[in-house]
Structure 1
Amino acid sequence: MIGLIKDIWDRFLLYLPMAVMAILALGTYWMVRTTPPPEVQAPQRAVSHEPDYYMHGFNVRSFDAKGQIRSEVQGEKARHYPDTQWIEIDAIRIRSFDTQGRLTTATALRGLTNEDNSEVQLIGNAVVVREADARNPSSAPTMEYRGEFLHAFLNSEKVKSHKPVELTRGKDRFTADSLDFDNVDQVLQLQGRVKGTLVPTRQP
């Protein structure tokens, strides 16, 4: 009898590791079956360069903290592109005032402007005119830029172009293949075929 019990015990110890492994496998299988599947996140939709809204015959104005008008943008038709957050405008017309109240106007056949109207690219018969300083017109006369492409930064008072331009400052006139003008620092860079006409200032 003792021998039979010992034999059964030996067999039990022999198969015990296999039984434990089977129980663990069944437990793992049960956990996998009962665990909810992970939520599958929908792939983000790529933003295409297609307009998400249009405007026709519009007039948009922006104001400063004191309620004074800073800029006004008009156009025949506008298209907003969500991928770049830029607005393309046909027959664009812009009026912008700096902190001293000096007026800058810009017109072109087509324009691209960012959302706060601080930067604008003028394409086709582009003209930018900065009015003279009424307090001191001799030192800050009227500035006029003309070209097929002008890139105006209205807040920093810069105008750039990689295409031929014509610049008029008071009675002085310049032409060049490219332009980089900083009105704040009063630095003008003209490159390429540069021509200029300077009119002497009459002494009183």
Structure 2
Amino acid sequence: MYSERPPLDPQPLSPYMAWAGCRNRDAILEVLKGVLPREKSHVLEFAAGSGMHVHYFARHFGHITFHPSDSDELLLPHIEERTRQSGLGNVARPRRLDLSQPHTWPDGEEFHAIYCINVFQVAPVSIAGGMMECTSRILADGGFLFVYGPFLDYGRFTSAFDEEFDRLLRSAGEDGWSLKDIAELNRAAGRNGMRLDDEIDMPSNDFALIYRRA
């Protein structure tokens, strides 16, 4: 869609987010093909944004119902329209879910997998606690949480690009914009009965982190 990286803009409908989503979606898909259930199941997406990932993945897993969610209610009609245009029958109606507000979390539902993509670099690390607590409540037995994005690897940058990206994020002056440390997510997981089960190196110095119940 874009041959060069557009200017940094983490708003869900921005050209930058479209570029980032297209850049990483196939690598993520290959990992998901190896870990998502092979039988009929339900998968939840935290922070679905424009819906770019849920609609791309859903067409590859016809036996799975995908449930997009986001904290921003204004994005839900956009996701719903994208579902209508796609013709996909395995994408559920989007829902509001704010990881900092437990009353918005699913009640009486279980999900076989949950994923969250490219969120932590533009969100406060405090949402990790809500993410892990919510996951521990609604994750089906044997299920997992998949978190993707750029992170500090236990206190160190994995590339000069990530170090520059972190400086760029911090210079924007927005609260919470910075690369977060995998160790911080692991601590939040431990406080909520979760554990890091797998850490996968991905293209562009990103990571795929898979958490399961401890």
TM-score grouping bracket, smaller chain normalisation: under 0.3
Structure with the higher helix share, 1 or 2: 2
- Relative CO higher for 1 or 2, CA cutoff 8 Å, sep ≥ 6? 2
Q: Which has the larger radius of gyration?
A: 1
Greater per-residue strand proportion? 1
Q: TM-score, normalised by structure 1?
A: 0.23
